[in-house]
Amino acid sequence: MTQEWTSEIWATIRPEEAAALHAAILAAHAQHDLERLVDLYAIAADSKEVEGDVDATCFFLTQAFVFALEAGAARAHELNRRLVAYGRAWPLE
């Protein structure tokens, strides 16, 4: 069964789901699906944020942000604001 990874419903990820998320990220990389990578890395960031793991949250936010910039996605501003709030980035102009 293929796991569907969408929106904020995945704020907390169980260990067995983490493996499926990891596989989905690898598949999106293989397909060079930038929009999907933004979504998947943001889901991972949200999960780590709920757990209180700031370093992991910011790592995944950074990945999502970079792919959002590369894709020209409007979501880049939201991701940047989150990184700025953690003191991990400068605000976009």
For 67-90, what is each residue's pLDDT tens digit? 999 999 999 999 999 999 999 999
Question: Whole-prediction pTM value?
Answer: 0.86
Which of 2-6, 31-35, 61-65 has the weakest average pLDDT?
A: 2-6
Q: Cα 67–72–75 angle (5° rounding)?
A: 75
Predicted pLDDT at 25: 97
Predicted pLDDT at 87: 97
Q: Are 64 and 45 in contact (CB under 8 A)?
A: yes
For 33-63, what is each residue's pLDDT tens digit? 999 999 999 999 999 999 999 999 999 999 9
Check pLDDT > 90 for residue 16: no
Q: Which residues, including other chains, have CB under 8 Å from residue 4's CB and lie 6 or more apart?
A: none
Q: Which residues, including other chains, have CB under 8 Å from residue 73's CB and lie 6 or more apart?
A: 34, 35, 38, 67
Which pLDDT band, with edges at 50, 70 and 90, does 4 fall under?
A: low
